[in-house]
């Protein structure tokens, strides 16, 4: 994972293997420590708990960053397998994907570990991931589930089991917001667009679920007027997020 270098993916500095045995077989006493860049802005989970309900405008920019980082990982053959708000760190408003403890390369699925149940794709609850494409599809679900949770927490749900139950519904429950920012209350236009986008991504059928390259091309993720996308550095990444974006920082 050392070669991963993208502004929306945490940089791994060092991996310390503190195995207690010389055997190639894993032991419960084996430990591995991953040293990463220090990020002092907390996680999206922290912001959800502190500032709920989060505004759609804030979630939109975070969604842009997270999608871009995940697309980069997939382009490098990496499956994250535990996308969730706690693993989306914030640095000056920029999202960085972190925690590769469950991650694996697409050709090493036998070493894959289970992610967090609340954000796990429905197919992974009944069977192990058996292909790289299945792993990518599971990541897309988890990304969308993370933003479903972020949007609805404090609006409609205040209990984790409520979120879990809604995500298990097929199709996933997309509730209206009677006290929203739209005219006369209700959902604003952008909130409706977000819900429509989440509905597409949270497809219970992994074979028809949108892939990350399609996610980046989605209308919802088109940068908006006045929206600046912060870029720290650009080396070996997937390319511009979306044509027409406003960049801040050096390229």
The helix (H) or strand (E) run that includes residue 126 is: none
Is the pLDDT at 148 greater than 90? The verdict is yes
Does position 98 have pLDDT exceeding 80, yes or no?
Answer: yes
pLDDT at position 77 over 50:
yes
Q: What is the pLDDT of residue 175?
A: 79
Residue 104 lies in a domain: yes
Using the predicted structure, report yes or no on whether residue 15 has a pLDDT greater than 60.
Answer: yes
Per the structure, how many domains does the chain have? 1
* pLDDT tens by residue, 20-48: 555 555 556 667 777 778 788 999 999 99
Residues pairing with 33 in the sheet = 16
- pLDDT, tens digit, 9 for 90 and up, residues 168-196: 999 998 876 655 554 444 678 899 999 99
Q: What is the rounded distance in angstroms from the CA atom of residue 58 to the CA atom of residue 146?
A: 14
> What pTM does this model have?
0.82
- The radius of gyration computed from the CA coordinates of the chain, to the nearest angstrom, equals 18
Is 158 part of any domain?
A: yes
- 24 vs 155: which has the higher pLDDT: 155
Residue 172 CA to residue 101 CA, distance in Å, equals: 28
Please state which of the ranges 52-66, 98-112, 139-153, 158-172 shows the lowest mean pLDDT: 98-112
Q: Which residues have a catalytic role annotated?
A: 82
Q: What share of the chain in percent tops pLDDT 70?
A: 78
Q: Which of 104-113, 164-173, 224-233, 241-250 has the lowest mean pLDDT?
A: 241-250
- Establish if 236 belongs to a structural domain: yes
CATH number at residue 243: 1.10.510.10
Q: How far is CA 140 from the centre of its chain?
A: 7
Query: Is residue 100 assigned to a domain?
Result: yes
pLDDT of residue 40: 86
Is residue 7 domain-resident?
no
In a domain, 19, yes or no: no
Q: Which domain holds residue 78?
A: 40-248
């Amino acid at each position: 994972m050392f070669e991963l270098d993208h502004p929306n993916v945490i940089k791994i500095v060092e991996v310390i293997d503190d195995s207690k045995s010389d055997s190639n077989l894993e032991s419960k006493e084996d430990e591995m420590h991953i040293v990463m860049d220090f990020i002092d802005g907390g996680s999206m989970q922290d912001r959800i708990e502190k500032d709920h309900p989060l505004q759609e405008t804030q979630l939109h920019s975070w969604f842009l960053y997270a999608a871009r980082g995940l697309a980069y990982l997939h382009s490098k053959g990496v499956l994250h397998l535990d996308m969730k708000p706690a693993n989306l760190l914030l640095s000056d408003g920029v999202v960085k994907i972190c925690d590769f403890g469950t991650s694996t390369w697409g050709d090493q699925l036998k070493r894959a570990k289970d992610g967090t149940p609340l954000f796990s794709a429905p197919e992974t609850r009944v069977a192990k991931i058996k292909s790289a494409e299945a792993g990518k599809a599971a990541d897309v679900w988890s990304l969308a589930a993370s933003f479903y949770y972020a949007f609805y927490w404090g609006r409609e749900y205040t209990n984790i089991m409520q979120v879990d139950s809604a995500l298990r519904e097929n199709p996933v429950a997309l509730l209206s917001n009677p006290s929203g920012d739209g005219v006369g209350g209700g959902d604003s236009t952008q909130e409706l667009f977000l819900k429509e986008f989440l509905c597409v991504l949270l497809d219970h059928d992994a074979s028809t679920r949108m892939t990350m390259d399609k996610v980046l091309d989605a209308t919802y993720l088109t940068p908006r007027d006045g929206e600046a996308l912060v870029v720290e550095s650009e080396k070996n990444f997937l390319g511009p997020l979306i044509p027409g974006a406003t960049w801040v920082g050096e390229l």
